[in-house]
Structure 1
Amino acid sequence: MAVAGCGTHQAVIIDRAGGTVSGANVLTEVEWNRLLDDTSAARVVINPDGNCCERLGRVRSWRHKLVIYRDGEFVWEGPILQVEWSLGKVEIWAGDILAWLDRRVPHNSITFGDSDLTTIGQWLIEDGFAPDDPGHTVQVVAAAKVRGARRYLKDVGQTGDHLRDLAETGLDYTAVGSTILLLPETHTAVVGRLTDADMPDGLVVAEDGTSLATRWVVAGDDDGDVLGTAGGLDAYYGLLERYLEQTSIPDDASATAAARSKLRSSLPVPVFIDTQQVTLSPDAAVDVPKLVPGWCLDITSATTCRTITQRLKITGVKVREDGGTESTPGSESVQVQVAATGAEAG
């Protein structure tokens, strides 16, 4: 049975042409995460041994990528963004494959008519990588079932920002290795179950009132020529209005669809469980490589005054292993951040 908190990591550095630059025979620290709708990061600290020092001295940002395995199973990869060499230690920071899209712009102008957001998101990714592909795959898990029109202009804006804007209005995405997953905000497939016993240090159940809105206004520009609204006065909460501007939205119907999507995820008050500072029990029956943002965990907790029995969406995963010291053994920690799904919020 797979459990959290008992894994051992390995790492290797790969050239963009595919060859191995260096292994990491002595890892003293490993940290990697996965994020929903954003670029994740990883960090390793290597103690060079033998001729490994010479090979590690040839590591270069963006030319090489970091690949991480947990118990021999692949869990993370992406371009190296920063390297520090010091006496007896090499420290490397990397971002996942989405980091490249923050260094790309649209290479073609395009106007989408009434299209599912996954179709638009896939175009942004494929166009971003078209001139220089580091090796990627796009997997559409399911249609977003949020439709609208969008317009993008050649050389205007960063592709990564366009993708994040799209995720604000009904699409989820995440990276697992070189694969970028596109899925609906209402995706509710379950990859595990957690109870209070799996979180022995306790947790925080939070109600995020700052995210509440009973009415959304979405504009395609600041002149009011393209405008959509959803919601209004709520019998319980009263009137709380939010405004969002996205210049890629070209018509009122698409702005209205975006407003409806925003309303679905912000009414009623979003509730989430904050486990960022809580390490899962080593006996927690979850398969760490399968903890992918966008998928769900069934969580039951009665340790706080706000009892929770709910299917919640994974929004972040953080795994860390350290090698310890001569007197203290190393250990792995696994932390998971979850929030209401689009379906639950609605």
Structure 2
Amino acid sequence: MASLGCAQEYRAIVHWRGGSLPFTSPGVSALTSVSWNRTLNDTSEASITIAKGAAGAECCAQLGQIEPFAHDLSIYRDSELVWQGPVFRVTESRRRFVIEAHDVTEWLARTVNTTLLRYVSTNPADPKRQSPIQQIAESVIRENLAGGLYASSPDWPKMLPYIVRQDDTVTARFEKDGTADNEIWIVPILRILDEELVPRGLEYTTVGRALVLGRSQTTADPAQARLTLDSFAGDVEIVRDGTNAASLVWVTNQEDQDISGSQFGVSGVVSGYYGRLDHLIRTTAEGLTAYDLWQIARGSYTGRHPVPTSLRIPDGAGLATTAPVSMRQLVPGVRIDVAATGMCMGLSQPYRLSDVDVDWGENGENVGVSLIPIGDPFVGDPP
């Protein structure tokens, strides 16, 4: 059985854009601290701190030539690549040199959409047909990065070969266009993912250079690991919180002052156990149909019913080195089961990993994780 273990060393390499051709690498002795994270539906960050005195004059001269977005930062835990993305900022003081980077989704935040977003066809031969939302997300990314009038070269961030998908079981219909169905929504690609596709069930994260386009895990998905309280270094808290609980999720485009012509979508169950427990989402997005609103309601229902029981890990605590899970299994979105015996709220249930936060320095390595309850999606028919 794999275990997390304890990192013997961290190495950092600065590559040219694309993550293949090395540019420079500070010696291990010059690397004084490393931090990196993985996160769900957001851009992760990493930073390294280099002691200039230990780096030497030749390395220092190369560090001074690092350019944001022209270079990538790669971080290795022992021999395993655990993080990679474009350099975002470099800061030099008298004694140290700091390199900060964002993961490859930063390129999606810096690239404006120039394609028509109209996935409404039911023709199986149409490349822009109704599809799982993960397939639509990949199509939007590929069409924008493959080339075109404003591209310096095809796939200049070198992302397209590293897209990984786990498709939903339902087909989505998505469009974002003007009244003549031929206008292009000129916004960053990442905004399309965050505002339009994530509410419909998309989840995204990065591991190394890979961009993972996935879906919410359910109780039918296998667990990547099974942890107990002994798997955590430090205290943990079990919290059963009704703040975000709901048995019915409603989504409407209704305005408070003008309710004419408005529509709504609803997803969930009528609960005899909890009584009437509704959650209302108002959206100001234009052009949404009742089907669109139902998709958003379905995507927002997961994890609300039954009332979620969360495992809270205080700051400063983390996984024990003996935890039966490897670093490559710690991918945001995967299922991890936890059994907490000996507690009043006896806990044994599946969770989803939402964040991994790693710090390494003179005190060694700390691997923090955040877990959120798994909830099965509502599987009823659309309107």
TM-score by length of 2: 0.81
Partner of 2:16: 15
Which of the residues 330, 341, 346 maps onto 2:374? 341
Higher mean displacement: 148-157 or 176-185: 148-157
Cα separation, 2, equivalents of 1:304 and 1:344: 29
Query: Is the 8 Å Cα contact of residues 268 and 345 (structure 1) preserved in structure 2?
Result: no
| Mapping 1:158-177, distance limit 5 Å | 158-165=188-195, 166-177=197-208
How many residues of Structure 1 are paired with residues of Structure 2 in the alignment? Answer: 339
- Cα distance 1:108–1:213, how it changes in 2: closer, same or farther (>3 A)? same
Alpha-carbon offset, residue 309 of structure 1: 0.7
Alpha-carbon offset, residue 190 of structure 1: 2.2
Code of the aligned partner of 1:139: V
Code of the aligned partner of 1:19: L
Cα separation, 2, equivalents of 1:22 and 1:244: 50
Code of the aligned partner of 2:308: P
Partner of 2:51: 47
Code of the aligned partner of 1:321: W
- Cα distance 1:221–1:146, how it changes in 2: closer, same or farther (>3 A)? farther
Does residue 1:27 correspond to 2:43, yes or no?
Answer: no
Query: Is the 8 Å Cα contact of residues 213 and 241 (structure 1) preserved in structure 2?
Result: yes
CA RMSD of aligned residues (A): 2.5
Query: Is the 8 Å Cα contact of residues 228 and 338 (structure 2) preserved in structure 1?
Result: yes
Code of the aligned partner of 1:140: R
Does residue 1:71 correspond to 2:78, yes or no?
Answer: yes
Higher mean displacement: 226-235 or 287-296: 226-235
Query: Is the 8 Å Cα contact of residues 5 and 280 (structure 1) preserved in structure 2?
Result: no
Query: Is the 8 Å Cα contact of residues 106 and 152 (structure 1) preserved in structure 2?
Result: no
Which of the residues 298, 306, 313 maps onto 1:275? 313
Does residue 1:216 correspond to 2:232, yes or no?
Answer: no
Query: Is the 8 Å Cα contact of residues 213 and 266 (structure 1) preserved in structure 2?
Result: yes
Partner of 2:180: none
Query: Is the 8 Å Cα contact of residues 301 and 377 (structure 2) preserved in structure 1?
Result: no
Does residue 1:4 correspond to 2:4, yes or no?
Answer: yes
Alpha-carbon offset, residue 54 of structure 1: 0.6
Cα separation, 2, equivalents of 1:122 and 1:220: 27
Query: Is the 8 Å Cα contact of residues 267 and 378 (structure 2) preserved in structure 1?
Result: no
Does residue 1:259 correspond to 2:297, yes or no?
Answer: yes
Cα separation, 2, equivalents of 1:345 and 1:252: 17
Query: Is the 8 Å Cα contact of residues 305 and 375 (structure 2) preserved in structure 1?
Result: no
Query: Is the 8 Å Cα contact of residues 206 and 273 (structure 1) preserved in structure 2?
Result: yes
| Mapping 1:313-324, distance limit 5 Å | 313-322=352-361, 324=362
Which of the residues 122, 137, 140 maps onto 2:165? 140
Partner of 2:181: none
Partner of 2:331: 292
The list of structure 1 runs, each at least 4 consecutive aligned residues, that deviate by more than 6 angstroms after superposition, is: none
Higher mean displacement: 125-134 or 83-92: 125-134
Q: Matched residue of 2:131: which SS?
A: strand
Q: Structure 1: which 5+ runs fail to align?
A: 325-329
Cα deviation code 1:195-234 (max 9, x no counterpart): 1111141212223423223332224685754532224764
Alpha-carbon offset, residue 84 of structure 1: 0.6
Q: Matched residue of 1:218: which SS?
A: strand
Code of the aligned partner of 1:14: H
Query: Is the 8 Å Cα contact of residues 218 and 227 (structure 1) preserved in structure 2?
Result: yes
Cα deviation code 1:258-291 (max 9, x no counterpart): 3123223322222221225222112222211221
Larger proportion of strand: 1
Alpha-carbon offset, residue 249 of structure 1: 6.6
Cα separation, 1, equivalents of 2:79 and 2:269: 53
Partner of 1:186: 217
Partner of 1:90: 97
| Mapping 1:74-153, distance limit 5 Å | 74-113=81-120, 114-131=130-147, 132=151, 133=155, 134-136=157-159, 137-141=162-166, 143-153=167-177
Query: Is the 8 Å Cα contact of residues 170 and 184 (structure 1) preserved in structure 2?
Result: yes
Alpha-carbon offset, residue 246 of structure 1: 6.6
Alpha-carbon offset, residue 117 of structure 1: 0.9
Higher mean displacement: 8-17 or 126-135: 126-135
- Cα distance 1:119–1:248, how it changes in 2: closer, same or farther (>3 A)? farther
Cα deviation code 1:142-199 (max 9, x no counterpart): x212433211342433211221231223222211122111222135332222111111
Partner of 2:277: 239
- Cα distance 1:23–1:298, how it changes in 2: closer, same or farther (>3 A)? same
Code of the aligned partner of 2:201: G
TM-score by length of 1: 0.89
- Cα distance 1:110–1:176, how it changes in 2: closer, same or farther (>3 A)? same
Query: Is the 8 Å Cα contact of residues 302 and 374 (structure 2) preserved in structure 1?
Result: no
| Mapping 1:296-335, distance limit 5 Å | 296-302=335-341, 304-322=343-361, 324=362, 330-335=363-368
Query: Is the 8 Å Cα contact of residues 301 and 378 (structure 2) preserved in structure 1?
Result: no
Code of the aligned partner of 1:150: F
Q: Matched residue of 2:321: which SS?
A: coil
Cα separation, 2, equivalents of 1:94 and 1:6: 24
Query: Is the 8 Å Cα contact of residues 78 and 178 (structure 1) preserved in structure 2?
Result: yes
Cα separation, 1, equivalents of 2:208 and 2:227: 25
Higher mean displacement: 224-233 or 65-74: 224-233
Find the structure with the greater CA-based Rg.
2
| Mapping 1:198-209, distance limit 5 Å | 198-209=231-242
